[in-house]
Amino acid sequence: MKDLKGVRDRYQRMSLEDLVDMSTKPEGLKVEVIPLLQEELNRRGQLAEVDRLSNFLAKRNENTGISDLSKKELQLMISERLQSGESIESIKIDLKDSGINIYETVDEDEKKIKDKAFSYITDLRQQGLKEDVINKKLEEELSLNEEDSENMKAQLKERGKQNILIGALLAIVGGVAVAISLSSKGKLPYSSLILFFVGVWRIVKGVSQRKSK
């Protein structure tokens, strides 16, 4: 389904009574929208309905053999659903019902998604945008809901910390090597200079990644 974002928006506007009624008739729904319905029901605290839909999906998956798909076939299916606009969280819920961990299945796809999200978040922060605006743009551009966005930002912050630590180590090692060489009037070690500047670059990058408005 191409307009999954539109479906999510429609579910968010629907009354609880209508959503619960839909959950009792999952056979009439397209399978790709059921996780979105679960997502909205879960947000409103209707856990019994979420479980009912999970049971329906589990039985359906037994019939379609999703758990028997190869890793490559699963990756293709997930990639197609991501391209259609479905969020990572929605797909994760769907696959979890079949005992499949999305993060063990789509290592490469997840890395690409994360790298793209990290770069986009950093760029938006450098533009001076507030976090709520960034969340909205992440949803519009990358189909990440608020929970996905916050998870990505937390991971970006952790990556920034790692870059700062690694950068500091490289800068110290490179700087010490340069200082020793200069004090002994030896030849300037260009490899140490490169190491120093790479360290500084990683520190700057890490600080940028850890920034938040």
At residue 2 the predicted structure's pLDDT band, cuts being 50, 70 and 90, is very low
Neighbours of 23 (CB within 10 A): 22
Q: What's the CA gap between 11 and 111, in Å, rounded?
A: 30
CB 179 within 8 A of CB 92: no
The pLDDT of residue 1:
41
Give the pLDDT confidence of 53-104 residue by residue, as tens digits.
888 877 766 555 666 666 766 776 777 677 666 666 677 777 776 677 665 6
Measuring CA to CA, which residue among 158, 81, 175, 90 is closest to residue 121? Answer: 158
Contact indicator for 163, 148 with CB cutoff of 8 Å: no
Residue range 177-190: average pLDDT? 76
What are the pLDDT digits (tens) for 140-176? 776 677 777 788 788 888 888 888 999 999 999 888 8
Nearest in space to 147 (alpha carbons), one of 47, 8, 43: 43
Residue-wise pLDDT for 42-58, tens only, equals 999 999 999 888 888 77
- Indicate the domain borders of the chain: 4-105, 113-210
For residue 109, pLDDT over 70 is answered with no
